[in-house]
Amino acid sequence: MKDSQNEFMQHELRLPELTVRGMLLGAILTIIFTASNVYLGLKVGLTFSSAIPAAVISMAVLKMAKDANILENNMVQTQASAAGTLSAIIFIIPGMLMIGYWQGFEFWQTLVVSACGGCLGVLFTIPLRRAMVVHSDLAYPEGVAAAEILKVGSHTKEDGKSDSGLKEILAGSAVAGIIAFLTNGLQVLGSSLSAWFHVGRGMTQLPLGYSTALVGAGYLIGIASGLAMLVGIGIAWAGFVPYFTMTEVLPDGMTLQKFAGAVYQQKVRLIGAGAMGVAAIWTLITLARPVIDGVKESIAGARADDAEKGLHRMDIDMTMKSIALVFGVTVIGLLAIFYVFVSPENIPPSQKLIFTIVGVGVAVLMGFFVAAACAYMAGLVGTSSSPISGIGILGIIVASLVMYSLCASFGIFDMPGGEKFATATAIFTTSIILAIACISNDNMQDLKTGWLVGATPWRQQVALLIGCVVGALVIAPVLNLLYEAYGFPGAMPREGMDPAQALSAPQAVLMTTIAQGIFSSKLAWEYIYIGIGVGIVLVLIDLFLKRTTRNLCLPPLAVGMGIYLPPVIQTPLVVGAILGYFLNRHLRKTGGAEAEATGLRRGTLFASGLIVGESIVGVLLAGLIVLSVSNGGDENPLAMVGSDFADTAEMLGLIVFLAILALFSKVVLSGKKSS
């Protein structure tokens, strides 16, 4: 097996790698995973790495062609994973609707920002490849996992069949899709269970969400992040919510339960935002030194560009001329679209030009440093665990301060709608920064996979650029579809819509709130200050645990998200993380490291399938809802039951949820038998 693997790493290798059929398959997978990630990101503020499921599906499809090989499969997963990650731009762009600047997602503006920002993310990490992939011992967990799956899939068992893992992905997708249809379409299953109870004179709740996609996401994020989120839920709902409801006066005409909900929305979530901000800044501080070292090595490596003709095939990046050409096109595209963005405003053309140059300049300069930080974070903790939202928080603060000084000097705040325009320009600038960040984060995982399987780097970099463009084409239409069907907090497309059904878009709400707070004095800063204090304490606790114990830690960013995100969303994440921990520990004890690795692989693929299945059905149902409403129909066109069935649906949902946990356990533990 080792000898056959080494043949793919030969310099003289002439195998189909970047092929037309591969790019077409990559484009199809890109559309599926981008739509899935947009839905999941808007619902819970998390996206998943699509590299592993893309690799599995690619192997299953391309094995029908006799000349398919591991390098071609790697190119497909490279393209698809890049686009799936680009969807992280949704962490900021819905803010345009929340402040009322856009009435729907502007297709061309969203497309160009996503595509050009993503392409810059690819370009900025090309000089980092040698330093952070080839000459580094960073873990790159998803990149290594994808490489192992590609290697396993390229070899056959004794019966002649390849163990690709497609079965687990399809099974997970089918199960989650059916349950999502019964829950959100036919509405015969409940989506959550929530028990409210008194704490002295106050009130709190003990909720449980039934989302199968979130159980899968919880399995993928791991026990450390899962328990940290549980701590965050405890701080919010066993601490701050009961305290505020006990110590403050109940408003006239409001029930104690509604008051507890209002306290959480208006006060406790701001505390979570403060904690997340501190955690994000601390994460970047801890990474500063290795990032600077990596950039120094990459600059030294770039000077050797003239000697590329003598390099091994596996060490040839895109040429400096190609990089300069793509960079020029993307920057021109960003300048043009930023000018189009500010054009409707009644300000002099010279001021529009200054806003354009400053906005793009800030985004590109900050994006370069962010790319290095994200590349290192991806290697250290993996794409799924990287604090991209933390990068967004820093981005919106910097962009807001820059735009505040510009708007103040031009007298924009004295004009009608001046504050809204300032907030919108800050959000637009940050969306470019975030597109650069999320692609930089993913790009290095793909290059690590390529290094391990014998890929040619420049071909991978071309595949990443293609993935960015294809993914960008999908994001705006899917965003519009989901907005019209469900709405966002503070941005409902139609009157009379149920705010409880809105997609929470937590990062977009947070970053928009921060921007508005900088441009006005309406933000309740005292709660953010409390959150900053909580964040500092969490950082100190995490440092103490890491220095005094072998395996214990308390990721501060995950605790901050636990305080900030609605608990009904987080509980299935926590359940998935804890379930995965106990299943993997059981496999390790009974079958050893090999059984654990097999079970982990099955679990990862099944969890990815759960996410894809529920997400795709969510997008399809959104299309049905929009079609129904636009023709004068109901917002629940497929509902088979009325509100009087709610209690029964809640219990049925719980039974099905427990059955899914049992099925998940069976899938993971079945790896013990086959190992």
User: Rounded to an integer, what distance in angstroms lies between the CA atom of residue 556 and that of residue 462?
Assistant: 36
The amino acid present at 440, given as its one-letter code, is S
User: Rounded to an integer, what distance in angstroms lies between the CA atom of residue 147 and that of residue 132?
Assistant: 17
What is the SS3 assignment for 427?
helix
Q: Which structure tokens are listed for 222?
A: 């791991």
Do the domain assignments include residue 328?
A: yes
CA 466, distance to chain mean position in Å, is 20
In eight-state DSSP terms, residue 333 is: H
Listed in sequence order, the residues at least 6 apart from 38 whose beta carbon sits closer than 8 Å to its beta carbon are: 87, 90, 474, 475, 478, 479, 482, 619
Structurally, how many domains does the chain consist of? 1
The amino acid present at 63, given as its one-letter code, is K
Largest CA distance in the chain: 79
Torsion of the alpha carbons at 140, 141, 145 and 151, rounded to the nearest 10: 30
User: Rounded to an integer, what distance in angstroms lies between the CA atom of residue 334 and that of residue 416?
Assistant: 27
Do the domain assignments include residue 156?
A: yes
How far lies 317's CA from each of 80, 253, 321, 394, in Å?
A: 20, 66, 11, 31
User: Rounded to an integer, what distance in angstroms lies between the CA atom of residue 579 and that of residue 669?
Assistant: 12
Residue whose tokens read 């997400």? 615
Tell me if 518 sits within 8 A of 397, measured CB to CB.
Answer: yes
Which parts of 493-596 are beta strand (E)?
A: none
User: Rounded to an integer, what distance in angstroms lies between the CA atom of residue 567 and that of residue 548?
Assistant: 31
* Average confidence (pLDDT) per 10 residues, the chain, 675 residues: 47 66 85 78 69 77 77 82 74 88 89 92 82 71 72 55 68 92 91 88 90 85 87 95 92 89 87 83 72 63 52 69 92 96 88 95 88 71 61 85 92 88 93 88 81 84 87 86 84 78 80 84 81 95 91 85 83 92 92 85 85 78 75 79 88 95 93 48
Closest CA to 439 of 408, 410, 461: 461
User: Rounded to an integer, what distance in angstroms lies between the CA atom of residue 166 and that of residue 152?
Assistant: 13
CB under 8 A, 24+ apart: contacts of 284-287: 284/373, 284/390, 284/391, 284/394, 287/373, 287/376, 287/377, 287/380
Q: Which structure tokens are listed for 119?
A: 């392409």
In eight-state DSSP terms, residue 237 is: I
Domain membership of residue 366 as a residue range: 2-165+318-372+429-496
User: Rounded to an integer, what distance in angstroms lies between the CA atom of residue 188 and that of residue 186?
Assistant: 6
Do the domain assignments include residue 552?
A: no
Listed in sequence order, the residues at least 6 apart from 150 whose beta carbon sits closer than 8 Å to its beta carbon are: 55, 59, 70, 73, 74, 77, 449, 453
255 burial via Cβ count (<10 Å: 0-12, 13-18, 19+): exposed
How far lies 45's CA from each of 396, 480, 614, in Å?
A: 17, 18, 15
Do the domain assignments include residue 298?
A: no
Q: Which structure tokens are listed for 183?
A: 């829950």
The residues facing 207 across adjacent strands are 194
The amino acid present at 106, given as its one-letter code, is E
Specify the pLDDT at position 287: 65
